Structure 1
Amino acid sequence: MIQRCTRFGNCKLVQSFRAGSSSSPSSSSKIGDYHRFASQASSSLQQVLEPSTYSDDENPGVDWDNLGFYMMRTDYMYMTKCTKGECFEQGQLSRYGNIELSPAAGVLNYGQGLFEGTKAYRSEDGRLLLFRPEQNAIRMKMGAERMCMPSPSIDQFVDAVKQTAIANKRWIPPAGKGSLYLRPLLMGSGQILGLGAAPEYIFLIYVSPVGNYFKEGFAPLNLYVEEEFDRASRGGTGGVKSVTNYAPGLKPLTRAKSRGFSDVLYLDSVNKKFIEEVSSCNIFILKGNVIASPAANGTILEGVTRKSIIDIARENGYQVEERVITIDELIDADEVFCTGTAVGVAPVGSVTYKGQRIEFKTGPHTVSQELYTTLEGIKRGLIKDNKGWIVEID
């Protein structure tokens, strides 16, 4: 099943926006209010977007064949705001640029913020496709509850992703050359001096065309098992995509990369013997016909790609388990691979633990390659989507 909207369907009125400026209140944040936005359709986007010196269909001059994973300035971003205890206003698109924040903003002082990541793809026949954006919306709502923040409704989130992707459509790489990465952010923008929830919040989305996340490209990853530092602890925020989860991982990641490793694999903070996740993605192991991944029990982020791979693997006849996995089980695995929005499905060639390097099967005819091919085929419109995962926006 493919959900469709017209080229500019479901697009809200587009205006110039500056953080802190006023805008009229709207009831369009309610779930299911898409028809309100659809009536503003093509003319809104054509008439109200700031004048541009280029055509929306003009190639932006990107070397699509050498696209990496780094920030590239694009055309438009989406933004909306709300005060504590209220709903988010109708969002607006504006030219990509800086936003204003008070030095006392909750996100700057206490890290009250969340982010998401999803992608838009261009199919071989030119269609623009999103992959399960509603799952990102659901995860943001769960994270917002944990971080004492309001959040956009699921429909408003998905509609905002659609708007932003369409407005930046010229930055979506040609089929097979990469994707447009969309980064939704939710942050406490209001001033707060004492510890507490901010009085005002901003929800925004910006984008960048991207290629492979790892510099190795499609080459197998080499992971280092981190024993000194923890990623998350029980009762913490490891299970939500809080901005506070990531900066503490920079030191072990930088150290691992300086030693030639691709990324860091963390162990549980209590026993130091159960694998949890890599700093930027989830992890799976394969033994025989059984695929296992650490259970999302509060310390592990429940990735959208992880969830999708579990469903695909089961349909392909594999036994899939979500449970506690010891480091010894990983060492004894036939295959190891990582999953995430940024990384896709990435095979692991080796894991180094206590000075010992353990190697795993990679390359053609592996299970990870099979799962990767199926997932990417669905995302890019090459394989029929029977699950309703794909949202077609153009």
Structure 2
Amino acid sequence: MIRRTVNFPSLRKLLLRPSYLSSSKIGAYNGYASQPSPLPIPDPTYSDDDEYANVDWDSLGFGLMPTDFMYVTKCSAGQNFGHGQLNRYGNIELSPSAGVLNYGQGLFEGTKAYRKENGQLLLFRPEENAIRMKIGAERMCMTAPSIDQFVDALKQTALANKRWVPPPGKGSLYLRPLLLGSGPVLGLAPAPEYTFLIYASPVRNYFKEGSAPLNLYVEEDFDRASQRGTGSVKTISNYAPVLMAQNRAKSRGFSDVLYLDSNSKKNLEEVSSCNIFIAKGKTISTPAISGTILSGITRKSVIEIGSDLGYQVEERVVAVDELTEADEVFCTGTAVGVAPVGSITYQNKRVDYKTGSGTICQELCKTILGIQTGSIEDKKGWIVEFD
């Protein structure tokens, strides 16, 4: 087992001391923590010996639950990000002419921290998130943090909010890194300044169905992305455009939308916020990365794990017509994990799929979750442990 362990033995206790909170090390960062905040700020009057926040972990869903701290750092265009700071969670100040507000110059990532029985925290392939942000930043003409700084910032944020990491088996701490064009611009141009920040929230199941199978609707009126666009990077501007189709599908009782390619409208692309796989016999297929599909980290991991388990895994063009012949369909993503699809409706025809015990989806889900939570040995060097 390849294990990378990083120790921060006193950071959390130091952060939670009242004297430290009042020092220059924690607090407003160039006016960042503006007051008052419309969101509930965590109560600082707690003991640093509290292992857990006062949360009903059994009722946890995938909604925002503000935690104690967020990580913030800034840099000018063409410069490198310096050491960031852990601030109290709160509002941020932006110029009305900030590049992210006027022209959508922004990226986001998502990863999770899990708690082991011994109290250690685990991150799953955080370097992949850092690499994807750097690729996205290049596409969006932004300055990105280094891979080492990105991963270190995740560790700091998770450790500072450790009491919000759910007990083993009760969920995870979702970490949301943001890269924003925070500098002011008027004409269309890259922002002169960039902000990298990370906030966190404890979460469990992404879909309201919980772990129950999803019911997807194949969308033909709207496209998620087009060739030579930004569909392959995690820019913030990719996501609001899917809301109309998603809301329409949900109003009809579906879980989410499955998009087709924008050229022929004959091939599968991805769901609103996750990748798609189909399985028939011992063969697993997923749409190939072609510039319009996000290279999901869970997707990449499932492809490798599926091969290790003896399945034939294919990255290729997957025609929508193949949905009628598939035995199973499932979605993958950081937020959703590996989620079974119970049915897909295309042109008013519904096809049902095998779910539950004995499925490929279940086997992949248990394997990848076991690695993420430390209950299955990590033989690939994917896990970063720290405390």
SS in 1 for 2:371: helix
Q: CA shift at 1:312, angstroms? A: 0.3
Deviation, structure 1 residue 351? 0.1
Q: Does 1:254 align with 2:250?
A: no
The 1:147/1:374 distance shift into structure 2, 3 A limit, reads: same
| Alignment deviations for residues 221-245 of structure 1 (CA, whole Å, 9 cap, x no partner) | 0000000000000011100000000
- 1:181-204 CA distance string (max 9 Å, x none): 000000000000000100000000
- Structure 1 equivalent of residue 21 of structure 2: none
Aligned-partner SS, 1:264: strand
1:266 aligns with one of 250, 255, 259: 259
Q: Provide the rounded CA distance (Å) in 1 between the counterparts of 2:49 and 2:114.
A: 16
Cα drift, residue 350 of structure 1: 0.1
1:55 is matched with 47
Distance in 2, matches of 1:278 and 1:315, equals 26
Contact 2:323 2:351 in 1 (8 A): no
The CA deviation at 1:137 is 0.2
Moved more, 147-156 or 10-19: 10-19
- Report if the CA contact (8 A) 1:75-1:167 is conserved: yes
Partner of 1:353: 346
Q: Which amino acid aligns with 2:375?
A: L
Query: Are 1:223 and 1:262, in contact at CA under 8 Å, matched by a contact in 2?
Result: yes
Asked if 1:211 is matched to 2:212, the reply is no
Provide structure 2 residue ranges, at least 5 long, that are not aligned to the other structure: 16-23, 33-42
Aligned equivalents of 1:163 and 1:350: distance in 2?
Answer: 41
Aligned with 1:228 (options 208, 215, 221): 221
The question of whether the paired residues in 2 share the 8 Å contact of 1:79 and 1:93 is answered with yes
What amino acid is the match of 2:262?
S
Q: Secondary structure at the match of 1:215?
A: coil
The CA deviation at 1:89 is: 1.6
State the secondary structure of the residue aligned to 2:341. strand
Contact in 2 for aligned 1:56/1:170 (Cα 8 Å): no
What is the identity, as a one-letter code, of the residue corresponding to 2:303? I
Gaps of 5+ in 1: 23-50
Shift of 1:17: 4.6
CA contact (8 A) 1:16 1:94 kept: yes
Instruction: Give secondary structure in 2 for the equivalent of 1:54.
Output: coil
Task: Work out whether 1:181 is the aligned partner of 2:174.
Answer: yes
Is the Cα contact below 8 Å between 1:56 and 1:169 reproduced in 2?
no
- Match for 1:15: what amino acid? K
After TM superposition, give the deviation of residue 19 of structure 1 in Å: 4.8
Residue 16 (str. 1) matches residue 26 (str. 2): yes
SS of corresponding position for 2:338: strand
The reply on whether 1:341 has 2:334 as its aligned counterpart is yes
Instruction: Give the AA of the match of 2:6.
Output: C
Q: CA deviation at 1:331?
A: 2.1
Query: Distance between the aligned counterparts of 1:128 and 1:248, measured in 2?
Result: 35
The structure-2 alpha-carbon separation of the partners of 1:174 and 1:57, relative to structure 1 and needing over 3 Å to count, comes to: farther
Q: 1:326: which partner in 2?
A: 319
Give the Å deviation of 1:8.
Answer: 4.1
In the alignment of these two chains, the number of paired residues is: 367
Structure 1 counterpart of 2:109: 116
Contact 2:214–2:343 at 8 Å: present in 1 too?
Answer: yes
* 1:27 match: none
Verify the 8 A CA contact 2:288 2:315 in the aligned structure 1.
yes
Check 1:56–1:226 CA distance in 2 against 1; reply closer, same or farther (3 A cut).
farther
Please give the TM-score of this superposition, normalised by the length of structure 1.
0.90
Query: What's the offset of the Cα at 1:330?
Result: 2.1
CA contact (8 A) 2:224 2:242 kept: yes
Instruction: Note the alpha carbon deviations across 1:89-123, whole angstroms, 9 max, x for none.
Output: 21110100001000000000000000000000011
1:115-141, Cα deviation, whole Å (9 max, x unpaired): 000000011332211111010000000
One-letter code of the match for 1:4? T
Aligned to 1:40: none
Letter of the 1:181 counterpart: Y
| 2:386 paired residue number | 393
SS in 2 for 1:61: coil
Q: 1:286 aligns with which of 279, 283, 307?
A: 279
The residue that corresponds to 2:307 in the other structure is 314
User: Is the Cα contact below 8 Å between 1:293 and 1:325 reproduced in 2?
Assistant: yes
